[in-house]
Structure 1
Amino acid sequence: MKRILVTGASKGIGKAIALKLAAENRHITIHYNTDKVGAENVRDSILDKGFQADIISFDISNNQQTEQAIGEYIENHGAFYGVISNAGLCRDAAFPAMTKDDWSRVIDTNLDGFYNVLKPCIMPMIQLRKGGRIITMASVSGIVGNRGQVNYSAAKAGIIGATKALAVELAKRKITVNCIAPGLIDTEMTDDIEHYDEIIKHIPMKRAGSVDEVASLAEYLMSDAAAYITRQVISINGGLA
């Protein structure tokens, strides 16, 4: 049984990934910070299909809390074969109007969250001696930069660099480390985007992506078929960048 942790899995892309990865030989651990009801609904959907799932809660920006929660989980249930580091947030503002709190909160959650989540998972994964899969979530913002997202673009670019470096370290352990960089994806977060129609005009495919399309990519990267793919940033953005 391969245990897979999906952070930020109570809704949106994380939820879609958790549901897509559910299978007979996998146990899906659904992480949430505040949306317990959402996480429980995802867990129940997986259980209703006859697959295995449970939930875990911590604030990924809090190193001590995250390390303790993951450490206790691994001690009780065993190491994770796979981790999808998906949880994150954005606080958009033009740079002259961006507060220090806007900057720090986005960096602490998105970039520090990479370290906080993966650090306690890595050594137990190595000690399994069964290889493994790590998928991080960046953004088109981390590749080309977006107006009003200096903080978010910095955090996601940092995730890309960290992913590539970690992939080199873990390659000989048969643990692949890859990054998915979505463009505009229809989720609860896009409901409030200003000038949505204008953004669509700049996408060559003239539409937003779906969470299922992102989840399908994650499912492939988590599979045995992707064993020779590592250190890659895979964009899913309709040709935007």
Structure 2
Amino acid sequence: MAGTLLVPPSGIPLERLVQVAVERGYTAQGEMFSVADMGRLAREVLGCQAEVLHGGLGSPNRDQVLQHLVAGHPLLIPYDEDFNHEPCQRKGHKAHWAVSAGVLLGVQVVPNVGYAEDPELPGLFHPAAGSPHQPPALPEEGSTGTVYLLSKQGKSWHYQLWDYDQVRDSNLQLTDFSPSRAMDGREYVVPAGGVRAGLCGQALLLRPQDSSHQPAAAPGQGDRAQSTPASPSA
């Protein structure tokens, strides 16, 4: 899913990704309990840049994550999946991957250049297609309900808006291998140190091979909604 959001889109079939992952010893059943291995797979098969983020989605990494999404790049996040696909906290027993394709920011002031108000939702602004736009001021950490990730899990039909802090907290508590999986008689590839070492507090930043590392953005806080999709066609 993240590959389709890169520019140009990868167009790599899922079967090819799984084949390479099995050949490299990253997976046995399609599982992926290592963010580092997922990064190696992305670099090899998608031909993109893949940066492993350590230390969680909060400070000091929060601004980097938001700037990455504002710049239009996908983010891969391991988290515990609830029955409705949203983030929950099950100590890693329901660990899954999600892709974030954009971000919804509550801001005080919408930049003057490059944004258009949604015709149906007053107060919601989108980057204008084909027009250069100034990065928005980022809401301050701790300002509740001002940052949402546009995210999708593979079993879901639709993208959902997830509260950033809930995603952060779910990602930070991935510590244990699921007891039901441990008892199902199947083999799984789990890195040394287990789920905690492979997934906890980690995420994967994907960029096209020729993109710059990180855009500039100023800190801020606000109350107007701005939608910043990662896909140019979103």
Q: Report if TM-score (shorter chain) is over 0.5.
A: no
Q: TM-score, normalised by structure 2?
A: 0.28
Point out the structure with the larger helix share.
1
Q: TM-score, normalised by structure 1?
A: 0.28
